[in-house]
């Protein structure tokens, strides 16, 4: 993993141990039993519930909330987990304000939705953190499936296939499973090692073998997997990072690194006081990764943190809730500001304007923002996919439930076209591909 260059001003240990602990505590503490019952009582239990339609995994939300309201949270957990095996993590990281809670009738009527995400976490934590896996494997089928990628899409697919009796081998490039749940989200959203605990719990179904440090195109090849296994699922995410595309001198330039690597290093650190961070940090980008990186830089002790995004605030990929959280944490948002140069301890931004036709106008107006550290969060790209697999829009082209152009090969998650780069969407795509793979194997 990349280590931050020791540029002047970029230093570790800016805060006291107590400050680190306070800054990185659970950003949304779990509901207790009384709070959960009160929150559940606000649900109208709609017959044609718009929250279900808004959920990519189509969880029966009114049912699980009614189960909580009647004092059976374990039954509520099973309702959730049958549809979304990563219900625990999704209860923590889903942009619910854009999905289920955004569609809630209470939101429309009162401007305050039912706390669906918090209730989902309340229900699933009781089962997932118990360590007891409630699902059973089906009768062995003798079929073997290779899954590339141990993130939400790959593991969702693997779990559903294992439940149907197939043997699954999961290959992943990283030393630990979990994908972005383990490496790519802000630490304060999933504290106390929950991502790893959820994966361990998921594997309790049996029939899933993990092979870490196996990268497609290096330790394994698609042709080799197709020859050895009855089906293949590609869920390896986006491994490449887009370049900033501007020149920067090596001398007197701020420390520069990918925000994805910055977050991953933070997530895997046992001692936050060892992580270097600048006094003046500029994050370039407007998505969830940009916000997570910016807020965590602030929590590590950076004095001034600025997010620079080239379009208007309404075009940011980060949800309004996440934007508000960043501002509350002390991050400055600069929109319609694109990087022009990185030099002499500063980022030079050029002001832009969004035109009615959707294009961007670069103006001649400039502003220089002090920076001793620059984090780039301008998107990731597909990497390591064999030429035989058709690509559309920079991602693997799929039809229906994840079928690729190569017979016997499916894809889902961030690497596949048509998704929205959310954990919950990846889970749904992995699950649905598994159902299609099962049908394919059964027919064969």
Helices (H), 97-186: 100-103, 105-110, 116-128, 152-163, 180-183
pLDDT of 343 reads 80
pLDDT of 253 reads 59
pLDDT of 51 reads 98
Q: Are 311 and 360 in contact (CB under 8 A)?
A: yes
In CATH terms, the superfamily for domain 144-239+382-443 is: FAD/NAD(P)-binding domain (3.50.50.60)
Segments in the chain below pLDDT 70: 1-6, 247-253, 444
- Answer whether 33-128 and 242-379 agree in fold: no
Q: SS3 of 232, please?
A: strand
- CA dist., res. 433 & res. 413, Å (int): 10
pLDDT of 114 reads 98
In CATH terms, the superfamily for domain 33-128 is: Alpha-helical ferredoxin (1.10.1060.10)
pLDDT of 344 reads 78
pLDDT of 2 reads 45
pLDDT of 248 reads 52
Buried b (16+ CB within 10 A) or exposed e, 73-89: bebbbbbbbebbbbbbb
- CA dist., res. 75 & res. 72, Å (int): 6
Domains of the chain, by residue range, sit at 33-128, 144-239+382-443, 242-379
CATH code linked to domain 242-379: 3.50.50.60
pLDDT of 59 reads 98
pLDDT of 247 reads 58
């Amino acid at each position: 993993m990349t280590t931050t260059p020791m540029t002047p001003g970029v230093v570790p240990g800016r805060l006291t141990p107590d400050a680190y602990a306070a800054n990185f505590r659970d950003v949304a503490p779990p509901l207790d039993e009384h709070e959960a019952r009160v929150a559940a009582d606000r649900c109208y239990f709609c017959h044609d519930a718009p929250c279900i339609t808004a959920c990519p995994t189509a969880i029966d939300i009114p049912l699980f909330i009614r189960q909580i309201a009647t004092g059976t949270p374990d039954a509520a957990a099973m309702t959730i987990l049958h549809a979304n095996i990563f219900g625990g993590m999704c209860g923590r990281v889903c942009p619910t304000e854009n999905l289920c809670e955004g569609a809630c009738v209470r939101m429309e009527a009162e401007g305050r939705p039912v706390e669906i995400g918090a209730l989902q976490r309340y229900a699933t934590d009781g089962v997932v953190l118990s360590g007891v896996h409630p699902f059973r494997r089906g009768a062995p089928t003798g079929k073997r499936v290779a899954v590339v990628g141990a993130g939400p899409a790959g593991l969702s697919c693997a779990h559903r296939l294992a439940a149907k009796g197939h043997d699954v081998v999961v290959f992943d490039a990283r030393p630990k499973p979990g994908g972005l749940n383990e490496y790519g989200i802000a630490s304060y959203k999933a504290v106390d090692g929950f991502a790893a605990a959820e994966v361990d719990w998921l594997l309790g179904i049996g029939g899933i073998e993990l092979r870490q440090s196996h990268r497609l195109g290096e330790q394994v090849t698609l042709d080799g997997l197709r020859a050895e296994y009855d089906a293949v699922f590609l869920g390896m995410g986006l491994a490449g990072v887009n370049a900033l595309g501007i020149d920067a001198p090596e001398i007197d330039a701020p420390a520069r690194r990918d925000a994805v690597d910055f977050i991953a290093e933070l997530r895997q650190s046992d001692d936050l006081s060892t992580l270097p961070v600048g006094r003046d940090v500029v994050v370039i980008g407007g998505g969830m990764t940009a916000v997570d990186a910016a807020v965590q830089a602030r929590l590590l002790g950076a004095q001034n943190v600025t997010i620079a995004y080239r379009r208007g605030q309404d075009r940011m990929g980060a949800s309004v809730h996440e934007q508000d959280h960043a501002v509350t944490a002390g991050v400055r948002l600069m929109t319609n500001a694109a990087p022009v140069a990185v030099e002499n301890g500063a980022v030079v931004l050029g002001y832009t304007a969004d035109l009615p036709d959707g294009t961007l106008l670069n103006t001649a107006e400039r502003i220089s923002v002090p920076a001793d550290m620059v984090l780039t969060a301008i998107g990731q790209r597909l990497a390591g996919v064999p030429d035989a697999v058709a690509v559309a829009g920079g991602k693997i082209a799929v039809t229906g439930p994840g079928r690729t152009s190569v017979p016997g090969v499916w894809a889902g998650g961030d690497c596949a076209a048509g998704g929205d780069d959310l954990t919950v969407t990846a889970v749904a795509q992995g699950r649905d591909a598994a159902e299609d793979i099962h049908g394919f194997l059964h027919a064969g």
